[in-house]
Amino acid sequence: MKTIQTEIPEQLYKKALALVKDGWFRDEKDVFTEAIRRFLDTHRPELMEKFIRDDMEWGLHGHD
Amino acid sequence: MIKVTLKIVCDSGPIIHLDELNCLYLLEDFQEILIPETVHKEINRYRPSSFKKLSLPFNLSPGNIPDNAPLLTLCRIFSLDVGETEALALMEKNPQAIFLTDDASARMVAEQMRFKVHGTMGILIRAIRRGQMEAEEVLRILKDVPSQTTLYIKLSLLDEIILKIKKEYNL
């Protein structure tokens, strides 16, 4: 496991804490690990790049 | 320039990013800008100035979840937030509209539903084609994206886009 130190908005932290207090997660660490895992699952570099390229194509040659 | 008769449904990202670049006026080209309630709140929280600067054709819509079960399921599978989910519910009711988002997950769901979807980069580059800005001006703005906005883009890809525009417009 890797330990990281970062700053996050207060509101985000409170929301994570609320999930822990409600019993959905063991601790805040688990909330953030799950959040990052889900983010990485859906933000694959090749896909993000494809979206930007599609946008460029639409911007240059689209019809609307 | 004649306005297109297209509606757009907005997620918060493109409005915030275009405002960061002082380019929000580019949305004047659309007939109507549909903003779901939660997206409106998000923009007001992070970029309250966005709604005050211009008289854009904003239309605040009530925040609803999608009626379509497959769409709602996709929103949940991709962990879309409330604003993105409400925006996609609006797309469900306005399927001819363009959905503007810079979020990869929301975009994936939109494409899965066969909605037209674009983002901030598309709107900026489109501005040349639509005669809203000169190509040189768009190039200057694109170079500002990493330092002036909260939009994440790989620098090598941004360079590639800049080169492509230069080539396209013989600059």
What is the residue-level pLDDT of chain B in tens, covering all 171 positions? 677 779 999 999 999 999 999 999 999 999 999 999 999 999 998 888 888 766 788 899 988 888 889 999 999 888 899 999 999 999 999 999 999 999 999 999 999 999 999 999 999 999 999 999 999 999 999 999 999 999 999 999 999 999 999 999 999
Together in a domain, B157 and B93: no
B17 interfacial to chain A (CB closer than 8 Å): no
Together in a domain, B101 and B137: no
Q: Which residue of B has its CA nearest to A34?
A: B79
Together in a domain, B53 and B78: yes
A9 interfacial to chain B (CB closer than 8 Å): no
Instruction: Say if pTM beats, i.e. exceeds, 0.90.
Output: no
Count of Cβ atoms closer than 10 Å to residue A15 Cβ: 11
Q: Look-up: residue for tokens 């469900």?
A: B92
Q: Which residue of A has its CA nearest to B97?
A: A64
Say yes or no for a CB contact (<8 Å) between B157 and A52. yes
Q: Which of B78, B105, B118 sits opposite A55 (nearest CB)?
A: B118
Q: Look-up: residue for tokens 């609320």?
A: A18
3-state secondary structure of B100: strand
Together in a domain, B109 and B43: yes
Range of the domain at B137: 133-168
Q: Distances from the Cα of B80 to the Cαs of B6, B122, B160, in angstroms?
A: 25, 22, 30
Q: What is the CATH number of the domain that holds B21?
A: 3.40.50.1010
Q: Which residue of B has its CA nearest to A49?
A: B157
Together in a domain, B154 and B89: no
Number of domains into which chain B is organized: 2
Together in a domain, B116 and B145: no
A27 interfacial to chain B (CB closer than 8 Å): no
Together in a domain, B67 and B43: yes
Backbone angles phi, psi at B59, to 5 degrees: -135, 105
Contact assessment for residue B16 and residue B113, using Cβ atoms and an 8 Å cutoff: no
Domain membership of residue B105 (yes or no) is yes
Together in a domain, B81 and B12: yes
Our CA-based measurement puts residue B124 at a distance from the nearest CA of chain A, in whole angstroms, of 7
Together in a domain, B36 and B115: yes
| C-alpha of B64 from chain center | 20
Q: What is the pLDDT of residues A7-48, one digit of tens each?
A: 998 988 998 999 999 999 999 999 999 888 878 877 788 999
Together in a domain, B46 and B93: yes
Q: Look-up: residue for tokens 């918060």?
A: B12
In this prediction, does ipTM exceed 0.90? yes
Q: Which of A38, A42, A55 sits opposite B122 (nearest CB)?
A: A55
- Chain A residues whose beta carbon lies within 8 Å of the beta carbon of residue B78: 42
Q: Distances from the Cα of A14 to the Cαs of A11, B41, B101, in angstroms?
A: 5, 18, 26
Q: Which residues pair with B98 in a beta bridge?
A: B8, B116
B134 interfacial to chain A (CB closer than 8 Å): no
| C-alpha of B84 from chain center | 12
- Chain A residues whose beta carbon lies within 8 Å of the beta carbon of residue B79: 38, 42
The full DSSP string for B31-44 is: SEEEEEHHHHHHHH
Say yes or no for a CB contact (<8 Å) between A51 and B104. yes
Domain membership of residue B127 (yes or no) is no
B162 interfacial to chain A (CB closer than 8 Å): no
